[in-house]
Amino acid sequence: MKLSTKSDNDARSSNVTFSQNDLNVGPTFSLAHLTLIGCSAPELVYIAARCGYDAVSPRFIPMNVPGEFACEAKDMKMVQATKAALDNTGIKVGELELVRILENMQTSLYEPAMALAAEMGAQRVITSAWVSEPVDRNYIVDCYGELCDLADQYGLTVDLEFPTFSTLRTLRAAADIVRAAERPNSGILIDLIYSEFSGLDPSELDALPPEWFHFLHIADVPQELPTTRKGEIEIARAARLYPGEGRIDFSAIIDRLPPMTYSIELPNLKRVEELGYEGHARRCLETAKQTLLRQTDQPSSKS
């Protein structure tokens, strides 16, 4: 694995050592908004630039979660400030977060956020399903297909995630929806913490089209996995670990996928309190580079 030139100065200043062959080309690293959920979108961009990231994944669709700095597409002051931050820093926009598939969903309501994200250069939209039991599979397929059709007008893929406390809780369940929808701009987002929570067998990836996978969410989890839905939510939203601190074998997944963006989604309230927003974001990037280089340059122990 090789790292992009943009991050090399940051790597050297933090005593992370790479060989000369690792310079100039390689994966891009994106800072997901959930990592710094209390930041505005412009602040997210400036922090990402100072820390050496290549891109950000802003939330222009508020989730109304505790501590969230709401950034809406209709807030023109915020939009202009975000555009200025992108222009000033050269940071790119990777993904738009987060379109939730809900009961009685009106797909058209998400169009302003998609249009804004595309205008800012985004390539992907993240979605996940939150439909109550009993689950109507056909409804999810139809909604996902409608989202893909809408996003396609803006040149965006729609990447379906499977949080283990949502409706679709496994890679197999997400793949079933994507396969049934049959849209050319469909995709699946693997968040490494949910692959671990769900007990994903990496060999499952071998049967799926590589073009479904465009980026990964990167974070680590404790050696002892939570045994309840509440425990999974607590880790996912506020206590993810830096890569290399926990149990995840990143290479078991990464080695089976094409080269892609690594989006660091790592909310940890304790670390933010200790290090501040920028210190936490910087540490996320440093540990991701250290761990991904170490693991993906070696044979996987889980393959």
User: Along the 303 residues of the chain, how does pLDDT read in single tens digits?
Assistant: 333 333 333 332 333 322 323 333 568 999 999 999 999 999 999 999 999 999 999 999 998 888 999 999 999 999 999 999 999 999 999 999 999 999 999 999 999 999 999 999 999 999 999 999 899 999 999 999 999 999 999 999 999 999 999 999 999 999 999 999 999 999 999 999 999 999 999 999 999 999 999 999 999 999 999 999 999 999 999 999 999 999 999 999 999 999 999 999 999 999 999 999 999 999 999 999 999 987 655 544 433
- Listed in sequence order, the DSSP H helices in the chain are 8-13, 41-51, 76-89, 111-119, 137-152, 171-181, 192-197, 229-238, 250-254, 269-296
**How far, in Å, CA of 208 to CA of 98, rounded?**
24
Helix (H, G, I), strand (E, B) or coil at 245: coil
For 300, other C-beta atoms within 10 Å of its C-beta total 16
In the CATH scheme, what architecture does the domain 5-14+25-296 have?
Alpha-Beta Barrel (3.20)
Residues 6+ apart with CB under 8 A from 78: 40, 41, 42, 71, 72
